[in-house]
Structure 1
Amino acid sequence: MEEYLKFIVQDIRGGVTIIFICSMLICIACLMDMWTGIDAARANKEKIRSKPLRKTGVKIVDYFRLIIIFVLIDILGLCFPWYNLPYGAIIGTAGVLFVEGFSVVENLRRKRSHAAEVADVAAKIVKCLTTEDAEKIIKMIKEEKK
């Protein structure tokens, strides 16, 4: 009986460890998404607000709700002798990491876009004192476009 109890405790400990690791991976992925979003905003000279932090917190909580549903499926799976890992939590975490990975890639593309250069050129045009200076900058833009 004691050996059987040790086996169950060890099995539960392994499952909880995997679920904890999945939860940490979700947090890290969401924070990386926020980080790349803030970097992209800085590169494009957009105003940075506290909304992304709140949005990230809400997103993490929503993802945890999703993982809890998968953990409940994993608990149901314990009725089967071949179901020895929290497969649902692992698959759910893989899905979340996939979605957040796409978001990070989008942020990196936005950071590398030429929107930041357009803002600089527009600022130079506004600062021009004469129409001749503005026309020189516009000609320069047209030449770069070719």
Structure 2
Amino acid sequence: MEKYVGFITQDLRAGVAIIFACLVLIVFACLLDMWTGIDAARASKEKICSRPLRKTGTKIVDYYRLVMFFILIDILGLCFPWYTLPYGAVIGTAGVLFVEGFSVVENLRKKKSHAAEVADMAAKIVECLTPEEAQKIIKKIKEEKK
């Protein structure tokens, strides 16, 4: 009997460790997304307020709710002898990491888009005294774009 109890508790410990790792990965993914979002905002000279931190906290809680749903599926899966790991939690976490990965890539693209330079170029065009000067600046922008 002790052999079976030891086996069950070992399985539970492994499952809880995997679920804990999944929850930690979700927090790190959300914080990484917030970090890249703030960097992108700084690059485009946008005002940064405390809203990103609140938004990140809300995202983490929402993602945890989703993963908790998958954990309920994992608990139901304990009824089957072949269901040995928390597959649902792992799949849910993989989905969250996939979504956050897209968000990080989007933020990195936004950062490299040099949106801050567009405003400076527009101001230079407006300050031009003649249309020829404006055409020179527009030509310069087109050459940099290629």
Q: Which runs of 5+ in 1 are unaligned?
A: none
Q: Which runs of 5+ in 2 are unaligned?
A: none
Say whether the 8 Å CA contact 2:70–2:92 is kept in structure 1.
Answer: yes
Q: For residue 81 of structure 1, what is the aligned residue in structure 2?
A: 81
CA-to-aligned-CA distance 1:31-67 (integer Å, 9 cap, x gap): 0110000000000011111111100000000000000
1:1-146 alignment runs, 5 A limit: 1-124=1-124, 132=129, 136=133, 138-144=134-140, 145-146=142-143
Cα displacement (A) at 1:3: 1.1
Cα 1:10–1:134 shift into 2, 3 Å: farther
Cα displacement (A) at 1:124: 4.8
Cα 1:27–1:133 shift into 2, 3 Å: farther
Q: What's the % identity of the aligned pairs?
A: 72
Look up the equivalent residue of 1:34 and give its one-letter code: M
TM-score when normalising by structure 2: 0.89
Cα 1:110–1:85 shift into 2, 3 Å: same
Does the residue aligned with 1:132 lie in a helix, a strand or coil?
coil
Does the residue aligned with 2:25 lie in a helix, a strand or coil?
helix
Look up the equivalent residue of 1:119 and give its one-letter code: A
Between the aligned partners of 2:52 and 2:81, the Cα distance in structure 1 is 44
CA-to-aligned-CA distance 1:98-129 (integer Å, 9 cap, x gap): 00000001101111113111122345567x5x
Say whether the 8 Å CA contact 2:43–2:114 is kept in structure 1.
Answer: no
